[in-house]
Amino acid sequence: MTVDLTYGDEYFGQLGPFEVDLGWWSAVDEVVARATEAAAVPVLVARLVDGRSEDPGHGGRVRYHAEALRRPAGLDAGAPDEGTAALLGPAERRAAWATPAGLRAALAWAEAELAAVGRPQAGPARQIRTWNLSGIFRLPTATGVDAWLKTTTPAFNAREGEVIELLGGVDRGLVPSVLAADPSGGRLLLDHVPGEDCWAPSAGTVADLVPRFVAAQAALSDRPADLAGLRDRTPRALAAQLTALLDRLAGESDLTPEELDGLAGFAADLPGLLDRLADCGLPDTLVHGDFHPGNWRSDGARTVVVDYADSCLGHPALDGLRPRAYLNPEAWQHHARIWTEAWRRHAPGSDPGRALHLAEPLHHLSYALRYQEFLDHIEPSERPYHEGDPASELRRVLACGPVARRT
């Protein structure tokens, strides 16, 4: 791992290489620690410059641009070579927080907002994650309870503060507390949620959280005006968006002619699937969009759902299916049973179990569309995170089998 260090308009060369256990390239806390030690001043990562790995997004050789928060007296400034200057220069679709100025502006906004709510910042921000989708910072406050700053791009993400307000109006304990929000700037300041992320949720956590989330979705389904501003991922919208996606991917992906023919057949048969799904009797509602257990956080007494950037208007089975990839077969069966029973209570006469089965190809289609949104809104150096993801999800659509054979 190497780091190109700047301070404002000055360039202080490349730090490293360092041997670090990177994991995800976006998890930059160790990168920050090594660069800060080498520069002898506080440093934060602005963005990924280049990443090369057999498993894109993880490990390999990675290069970052970092900004010193004070001028590094122990390093000499100089002019970068032509190639480095091009890599560090402006780029179309760069995230606002991925520039030194944008990074400083986001942190200054958070500091001012914390002061305004009586929780003045009590130390430097700790940078947890930064990539094309978000920047995450943990901020100590004078009350002893940390706050969290999240930055996203408004052009392709939900207004998380508004989504949290909607869900919190039904079940306040289901969501984190919003301290401040700047929707147009893509900034959100949240109170700390104690506990751990539930990557391997207990049966009790599932039995508590899933019915509460379903209850909130059922309540919000009766308030369509409140959901009107959400991105449309309803089944009919997914079907319409598939045609445009296939037209693009025919020339932009490695999908084979046979796979494209199979997807065209899926699109032709989709109206019948949508009718059968509608017959299951579940309403369109607010969908979390990434309802895997890593976005559930619990301290053993309370479980909170976080990360609403992917929220949309859609079929609730899209959320119901999301945990499947993260659970072993026994845990998945438990989750599916709890989810199905909850929806039967809130939609009498419905068939949630059948809806889960029918919606599986739509679940993968929704992610193909979402990943394409990522690619359409991020700069070239960030594309390795998601390159190929739309095609991969469409292959999973095909793996679900012909629409005509879905009951």
Q: Where are the beta strands (DSSP E) in 69-161?
A: 126-130, 135-139, 147-151
Contact predicate 370/288, CB 8 Å: no
- The pLDDT value given to residue 30: 92
* pLDDT above 70 coverage of the chain, percent: 99
Contact predicate 14/66, CB 8 Å: no
CATH topology of domain 98-191: Phosphorylase Kinase; domain 1 (3.30.200)
Contact predicate 234/369, CB 8 Å: no
Name, in order, each residue with C-beta under 8 angstroms of 336's C-beta and a sequence gap of 6 or more. Answer: 320, 324, 353, 356
What's the pLDDT tens digit per position in 29-42? Answer: 999 999 999 999 99
- The pLDDT value given to residue 404: 60
Of 3.30.1490.270, 2.60.40.180, 1.10.3720.10, 3.90.1200.10, which CATH number belongs to 196-405? 3.90.1200.10
Question: How far apart are alpha carbons 110 and 6 in whole angstroms?
Answer: 23
Question: How far apart are alpha carbons 234 and 274 in whole angstroms?
Answer: 10
What's the pLDDT tens digit per position in 363-394? Answer: 999 999 999 999 999 998 888 889 899 999 99
Question: How far apart are alpha carbons 210 and 336 in whole angstroms?
Answer: 10
- The pLDDT value given to residue 182: 98
- The pLDDT value given to residue 405: 64
pTM for the model stands at: 0.95
- The pLDDT value given to residue 196: 96
Q: Where are the domains of the chain?
A: 2-89, 98-191, 196-405
What's the pLDDT tens digit per position in 301-358? Answer: 999 999 999 999 999 999 999 999 999 999 999 999 999 999 999 999 999 999 999 9
- The pLDDT value given to residue 406: 72
